């Protein structure tokens, strides 16, 4: 084996191991229980898987890409997705969401890790909740003197759908900047071949 081939193999093995360390390298196995909580959890799993692969291998060029001068850059979009994942996780924990966000990670690695960990924890929590426990949850925003509360169902058409939408933008942005997502990502099966 040549040194080049050895180094390439080592890089690919390390890259794959690092990618698998973050949540949602693949979608978790399907559960046996169909309930409101497991349905919300599975939606979050799909979001997490898409986000994982939409953000894997982004370059600085990809992060600064914006389709028009007025549009958000890919990095600004990732920061927004992070904030949405925080809303999803805080709702699963029945915690109030402070707006504007107190802190958003500044590096791509921290943004990815934080977003994926929020989604993983939220998915696990929702899957463990009974229908009665879900009725007790609410999306609660604290905007200083203005506190608002919404039913947990608004999470589906609000932050979850919005995060899916913006994750699709990242896929489109990176394709436009010359760095499409990895081949073999199968969103239907939730695996990477």
| 67 has pLDDT over 90 | yes
Helices (H), 93-160: 108-128, 131-136, 154-155
pLDDT confidence bin for 106, thresholds 50/70/90 = confident
pLDDT confidence bin for 189, thresholds 50/70/90 = very high
Here the CATH number for the domain that contains residue 52 is 1.20.120.450
In a domain, 9, yes or no: no
- Assessment of whether the complete model's pTM goes beyond 0.85: yes
| 8 has pLDDT over 50 | no
Q: Which domain holds residue 112?
A: 32-192
Mean pLDDT of 101-123: 94
Residue 12's pLDDT is 41
Residue 3's pLDDT is 53
In a domain, 25, yes or no: no
DSSP H or E segment with residue 102: none
Quick: pLDDT tens for 45-55. 999 999 999 99
In a domain, 151, yes or no: yes
In a domain, 27, yes or no: no
In DSSP terms, which residues pair with 43 in a beta bridge? Answer: none
Three-class DSSP category at 148 = strand
Contacts for 184 with CB less than 8 Å, ≥ 6 apart: 192, 193
In a domain, 23, yes or no: no
Share of the chain above pLDDT 70, in %: 90
In a domain, 54, yes or no: yes
From the list 63, 71, 64, the residue with the least C-alpha distance to 109 is 63
Q: How many domains does the chain have?
A: 1
Contacts for 54 with CB less than 8 Å, ≥ 6 apart: 167, 168, 170, 171, 174, 181
Mean pLDDT of 61-67: 96
In a domain, 124, yes or no: yes
pLDDT confidence bin for 20, thresholds 50/70/90 = low
Mean pLDDT of 68-91: 96
In a domain, 16, yes or no: no
| 9 has pLDDT over 90 | no
| 4 has pLDDT over 80 | no
């Amino acid at each position: 084996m040549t040194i080049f081939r050895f180094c390439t193999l080592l890089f690919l093995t390390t890259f794959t191991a690092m990618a698998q360390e973050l949540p949602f390298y693949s979608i978790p196995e399907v559960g046996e229980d169909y309930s409101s909580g497991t349905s919300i959890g599975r939606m979050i799993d799909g979001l997490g898987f898409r986000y994982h692969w939409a953000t894997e291998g982004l370059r600085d060029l990809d992060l600064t890409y914006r389709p028009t001068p007025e549009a958000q850059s890919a990095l600004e979009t990732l920061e927004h997705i992070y904030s949405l994942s925080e809303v999803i996780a805080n709702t699963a924990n029945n915690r109030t969401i402070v707006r504007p966000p107190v802190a958003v990670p500044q590096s791509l690695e921290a943004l990815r890790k934080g977003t994926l960990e929020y989604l993983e924890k939220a998915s696990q929590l929702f899957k463990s909740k009974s229908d009665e426990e879900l009725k007790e949850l609410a999306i609660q925003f604290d905007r200083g003197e203005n506190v608002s509360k919404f039913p947990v169902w608004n999470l589906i058409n609000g932050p979850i759908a919005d995060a899916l939408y913006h994750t699709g933008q990242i896929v489109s942005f990176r394709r436009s900047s010359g760095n499409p997502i990895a081949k073999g990502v199968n969103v239907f099966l939730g695996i990477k071949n």
